[in-house]
Chain A
Amino acid sequence: MSVAKPNPHDSGLAHVSGVARYTDDMPMADPVHLAFGLSTVAHAKLTSVNLDVVRAADGVIDVLIAADLPAENDVSPSAHDEPMLATGKVHFVGQPIFLVVATTHRAARMAAQLGQIKYEKLPALLTIDDAMAADSKFEDAMTFQNGDADGAMTSSDNQIEGSMEVGGQEHFYLESQAASAQPNEGDVLVHSSTQHPTEIQHKVAEALGVPMNAVRVEIRRMGGGFGGKESQGNSLAVACAVIAMRLNRPAKMRYDRDDDMIITGKRHDFRINYRVGFDNSGRLQSVLFEQFAKCGWAMDLSLPVADRAMLHADNAYYLPNVRILSHRLKTNTVSNTAYRGFGGPQGVIGIERVMDHIAYTLGIDPLEVRRINYYGEGRDQTPYHMTIEDNVMPEITDELVIASDYVERRAEIAAFNAQSPILKRGIALTPIKFGISFTLTHLNQAGALVHVYSDGSIHLNHGGTEMGQGLFTKVAQVAAQVFGVGLDMVKITATDTAKVPNTSATAASSGADLNGMACKAACETLRERLSNFAAQLWQTTPDKISFTGGMVNSNGNSMTFAELAAAAYGARVQLSATGFYKTPKIKWDRFAGKGRPFLYFSYGAAVTEVVIDTLTGENRILRADILHDVGRSLNPALDIGQIEGAYVQAAGWLTTEELVWDDKGRHLTHAPSTYKIPACSDRPKEFNVKLWERGENVEDTIYKSKAVGEPPFNLGISAFMALSDAVAACGDAYPDMDTPATAERVLKAVDMEKGITW
């Protein structure tokens, strides 16, 4: 079996020896280097753009403004509302206004600072409140509802309400955005660090005014993506292509880290208001959510992000009477974009806050409130009218409660807190049920291209991109599995729009589900041809031919896979095939808020224990226990890596990763010196991550596996809830902290418990 093995990442050796090439590492003959000159104000008319000093700067070859562009000036993935270079107005601090072409990267950066821009300032909407007051929205508020929320609220036994601010998150992929372009006989070859090569191809073709077949985009690997390279690389690729064609010379561009953090979109910050009715056992009777998503200045992917937040407002819980209202707010801030979870975690954290709030109100263990509200028999319809058919949340919870010693530890923590005046501990278990499929149904398709050469070696290509998640390894395992050969027979190749066309972004955790199935289809087509040929050769039927251990066998006949490939070639059997897959069953009407947006759900749960310092608010994760369902794992090592990494990334989102803007709309945390992602010692010292052994996808997915990229990100929410639990040990009030729970927020919450305000 090739699948289900813990094979190391296919590029592991290349990574550790420094030979793995990323976009900026590609050898290139005498390229020019590009940099953007940026807006310094949040909203203004451009009254004068004087670039004389820029043109005269050392090393500058060319300087372009919007009017110099050859065709479309748009890098939006959605609404054609995102000019690459500003036209007349600027809409956020950091918006590119002009493009510098220079002999070196440094010369381009130096010159990009020298633009003499005059602005006529316009009122800037910088916050959720600003946007609501101005009714500045990308579309009308959306509503999902099921049951009679208002009636049930009125008749409910208990009611609570609250509000929380949920902070955004910088992706901080270690490789900043990068692209290059080479002219090629009137066409262009683009290398882009992108999760979405087809979109790069599409935007470059538009920008050059050429058909898509004149543009080829290739990407072997990214140095991290996390959603931040789904649309945010468009500007760099388009800029490089435009310049490469304009000067007939290779062009390359990478954002310096600070520019990257100023220009590119982030996880959407949200406000979540809730009003909840529940009975005396803590069971929900009515839930009203109002979600406010700060989308920034351009639409980008904000609508489906906000949709997914609504679609995860239930998380693992049955909301019998529910109404979810969602506002998609347009502000003069960076255009927020996809980020691992795609709005889901913001939806989930809302209902998790509700669970805790109910528990503290009733004085019972939050775990009991969670359990009593889980989906179950007769309680299986979501707020969007989909029936849950694969619920394994109670089983996972039961197993994790035992494996993590949750009950004993809760008692130990209470005892510790009783005798520790300064340090206090907290614990929480939170679950995740995460919906798998793109909510834009047509994106749920994928293609693959597989060649078998006459020596039996296999060339694999598909539409998915490798950003570190191990997708290429998993898909290669699928190919090796179908042909019964070793992984070493399969050559993994760069994603290339010239090999597999019209691909979807590698996003929504769908990479292995979609591309694995497409690869399997291609390989099965080839195996069928080879089986038919072998059956002729051996005077038997194709169903008697088996492929295993590098051999092809039938009733005592046997040859190597390589020998069969050579013989098949000699007999003029076609040894190249494409494969295609489209996800079945899904159907979704986003305006009605009804349908089946997801093929299935991924489940998991985490228990986190934390400690806080009640004098300073400093805090730390002590231990995390995770049980997660990946169905039948395609590769347990890679899956555990995804879970560990996602948890720590989410814990960072909710603790130390604080994005700060000033009242002029300037981003102040635009470097790792001020924006703090988790460091080595921030990982849980005791970190027990297990795949749920009984996991098996009830749907017909690739070898019964489940998607893994985004779902476990939500498990980091347990760290935030554990911090709330620790704060609650300092007094009687419910600590309604906003996120991220920085030391300052924790101290403020502790002092609130003690009745001290500042």
Chain B
Amino acid sequence: MTVAAGFGYVLISLGPALSLFVSVIAKKPFLILTLLASMLFWLISLIVLSGAWRGFLPLKSASWWPYVILIVTSVGFQEATRLIFWKLYKKLEVILDAFAEEKFRSRLSWTDKMQIALAGGLGHGVAHAVFFCVSLLTPSFGPATFFVDRCSHMPFFLVSAIISLGFMIIHTFSMVIAFNAYAEGRKLDQIIIPIIHILAAVMTLINLAPGGCAIGVPLLYIIGGVVLRHCWQMVWRKLTEQGNRQRNSSDIHVS
């Protein structure tokens, strides 16, 4: 049971990411590199954050307001790093486009760009799951499990695996939405993404209350669902409008 449970937790938190990786990313070397770069980027942002908070941790007091500050600063910082990531990618995209033009006589298609955004988002999501959940799962492979007082219905590892899965979804697809919003200059989406991120983070604050995880986790998944739906809508809209345009232009292209 023990090893099985450990693998189960790992698969809960990383399983969907794994299937995304196998089905979309693994065949395209450039996406693998994007994924690795994005994981590294996220890790660096986390290390900077932890360095900044090093002096105040561990928090001794039982009050919740230090946690609020921690969450707000962290999310703010991470949204800033998302912007930096976008700026860097923008520079890279110019080079990529030139390269594609020279080599394949075609520029990056919008699906290519979206896949790059997906790989970048998946990198953030996987890094999140790995550092917040999987790296703490080592004890769960042993003969015991662990419960926290405030969430005593389920083992601690199960709760954190479920939460990190929710964040994996949010990180992955909000990156797709954000990149698209930056590229098209859609102000609304650009603002929505940080708001969703901070809302999701605030939902985990509910876990501080006794028994709060029974409310916080479902709310987190509702946010995840909203992100997924929004992303799907956006992709669908692009699919239809670009599909029409492509059909018109492809005749010219071929000739």
Q: Do chains A and B stick together as partners?
A: no
B residues in contact (CB < 8 Å) with A:
none
A residues in contact (CB < 8 Å) with B:
none
